[in-house]
Structure 1
Amino acid sequence: MLSPATVAVLADVGVSTGSMLRTAGLPEDLFLDRQVALTAEQFYRCWLAVEEISGDPALGVSLAEQAHAETFQPIVFAALCSPDLRRAAERLAAYKRLLGPLQLIVETEGDGLRVTVRWPSAPVPPPGFLGYELLVPVALARLGTRSRVSPLRVTLPDPPQGAAATAYRNYLGTPVVAGPEPTVAFTALDARRPFLTADTEMWQVFGPELRRRLADLEQRESTAGRVRAALLELLPAGQCGAAAVARRLAISVRTLQRRLAAEQTTFQEVLERTRHALARHYLARSGITVTEIALLLGYDEPSSFYRAFHQWSGTTPQQARGLLA
């Protein structure tokens, strides 16, 4: 979902909406609507179009540097009402689905905070967009605290190179390094640093409306889609059972099975489809070993992953990696 503020955001980086939409192959009157709904593939085309038109190798950094409260979606503005970065990240994660298919996983790392970005296996987001998603919590922390918060660590499967790498390092205060998932980590001090923008009364205005929108979205989503989204979070932690997914969706296992049956599928079928799609996604990234992929998919032993992958595709993970490279 794109708001009318997108026009102002593009103007900040010197790109007109008309040129972006023409380059992306989309109707030029698209922003006549109050809220613009795009497929993931259309949105990624828009991102690549802005990169092409601007000629900016570090577009995400430029957008983060231009971040203003008035150009944020209501979800991000509501996060600024939080008491600190930890609570702001949790609010972003809770309502991120209202903006698109990306998910934010907020976890404790020691006494600090770690935010991981996850997305459906296809279409694959542009690397620059994933980089920008990691900059959002940093920009949010700096706006909220009015201090130059720098993360402890930032990882991307495809880190920026050359001039883009320098721009990211200058903005973040730390280099972006290679890692299996897009992740940004903060110290405990920065996670707890008070937001000067904290506003309980404003959150009481935003909160009920965001919860209503999320409830409407969940009613429209299929159960299979919700199961898949839950598995994307649970599989790397080794949780792949129906009971764990049912707990995440706040329903009983029996209700979960009944709803999936009504959609003419089963939990095992959704699990296998999700694992297969994720396996192909990870295999396309040479920096992740087959053993690591097996763990990310919730398998206790690499041999179990080998057998399952052969059943899905009729080939081995190494052979598939050669074709996907």
Structure 2
Amino acid sequence: MDESSQTFRTPSVSASLTQAVLLAAARLGLSREKLLAACDLREAQLGDPDARIDFPRQERLWEEIQSSLPQQEPGLALGRALSPASFSALGYLLQSSTTLGDALESALRYQRLVGEGGQVIIEAQPESIWVAYRPLNPEQTATRARALALLGFWARQLKALLPGLQLVGCRFMHSQPQHLEEYEAAFACPLHFSASDYALGLPKSMVGAALPQANAPLRDLLRQHAEGLLARLPSASVSGRVVALLGEQLTRGEPGRAALACELGLSERTLQRRLAEEGSSYQQLLADTRRQLAERYLSEGNLPATDIAALLGYSEPSVFFRAFRHWTGLTPGEYRQRRRHSCG
């Protein structure tokens, strides 16, 4: 393949997300027809909830919303008006999850089904878990409204999933505004501005808490549906494609960077450059993928740590044990014991 002529697909969002934003904007008094015209969309493009809309059109939609709403923070206003019923399979999957941690894991794995306007990352700290959002084009004026709507909606949904949940903090990329009343009403927690991302902080002790609407059979059915949708969705980034290949190939041993580049139709040097442009690297993606899979295997089943090491492509269990202690400060056995204690 001639990599000089290879093009990478424009990021996209689901039609269901676009519908949700349009419905919320209409609830706030904006004209649906005017919004559709502003982003060059037709009603026929929104009929299938699993259809995709190019992200640049979604950005134009947010620009129109931000300039048209009279509220001081249009994003927070729209976040309050968003309906969870409009988020299709992922929303129902989160509601049917067994624990808060289970819901967060599904949100992380299937985030692209909703949209590719940014990256969701779960950060574990000693006393808290941060659900971080790193938006595409953070310098765009409308990104602030888009990210605030997302964070405000997340906060509502998390509290609906687990009544009594109190956020431990919230981070924002923009500088502190003069008036904070809307922020305090939306998040009710310490607020941190001029941060490197947008994020919600959750108490780590709540991760194993059971969700009142848990339905494991329905969750498993929805996961199967989500996996099918994910498999048909091309990756908008090289890093996303690398992670997908790593998850598939690790059981056969650690895939070499050169072999992975070949599967992507790139030279090894081009792969390194493209990953660097996305703020990543092969080694970092490999470590992140292994850690996420290791934590899932240790939390969900009874596989011996030696078998988990093999599934993660390690030639020796001792190498896995050292890596896991470096990531978490715990041995695999200690991690599993803590997870069982927190869920018990």
Q: Which structure 1 residue ranges, 5 or more long, are not aligned?
A: 231-244, 280-295, 297-325
In 1, Cα distance between equivalents of 2:139 and 2:228: 29
1:74 and 2:56 are equivalent in the alignment: no
Counterpart for residue 130 of structure 1: 147
1:12 and 2:27 are equivalent in the alignment: yes
> In the alignment, which of 183, 203, 222 is matched to residue 206 of structure 1?
222
| Higher mean C-alpha displacement, 172-181 vs 262-271 | 262-271
User: 1:132: Cα distance to partner?
Assistant: 2.6
CA RMSD across the alignment: 3.3
User: 1:95: Cα distance to partner?
Assistant: 0.3
In 2, Cα distance between equivalents of 1:47 and 1:91: 26
Q: 1:160 to 1:33 in 2, by over 3 A?
A: farther
Could you give the per-residue CA deviations for residues 241-295 of structure 1, whole angstroms, max 9, x where no partner exists? xxxx96456456657534533654234323323434659xxxxxxxxxxxxxxxx
Could you give the per-residue CA deviations for residues 39-95 of structure 1, whole angstroms, max 9, x where no partner exists? 222111111211222223323322333344423332022101123322212111110
1:226 and 2:226 are equivalent in the alignment: no
Contact map agreement 1:246 1:253 (CA 8 A) in 2: no
After TM superposition, list the pairs within 5 Å mapping 1:7-156 onto structure 2: 7-24=22-39, 26-31=40-45, 33-35=47-49, 36-101=51-116, 102-120=118-136, 126-147=143-164, 149-156=165-172
Counterpart for residue 271 of structure 2: 270
After TM superposition, list the pairs within 5 Å mapping 1:154-193 onto structure 2: 154-159=170-175, 161-163=177-179, 165-174=180-189, 175-193=191-209
Contact map agreement 2:97 2:216 (CA 8 A) in 1: yes
In 2, Cα distance between equivalents of 1:106 and 1:5: 24
In 1, Cα distance between equivalents of 2:56 and 2:43: 19
User: 1:122: Cα distance to partner?
Assistant: 8.1
Q: 1:211 to 1:187 in 2, by over 3 A?
A: same
Q: 1:50 to 1:195 in 2, by over 3 A?
A: same
Could you give the per-residue CA deviations for residues 149-188 of structure 1, whole angstroms, max 9, x where no partner exists? 332121122145234x431122111324221122221113
Q: 1:11 to 1:84 in 2, by over 3 A?
A: farther
Q: 1:44 to 1:30 in 2, by over 3 A?
A: farther
User: 1:204: Cα distance to partner?
Assistant: 3.0
Using structure 2 for the length normalisation, give the TM-score: 0.64
Using structure 1 for the length normalisation, give the TM-score: 0.68
Give the letter aligned to residue 228 of structure 2.
R
Q: Which structure 2 residue ranges, 5 or more long, are not aligned?
A: 1-13, 285-344
Give the letter aligned to residue 270 of structure 1.
L
In 2, Cα distance between equivalents of 1:110 and 1:277: 28
Percent identical pairs in the alignment equals 12
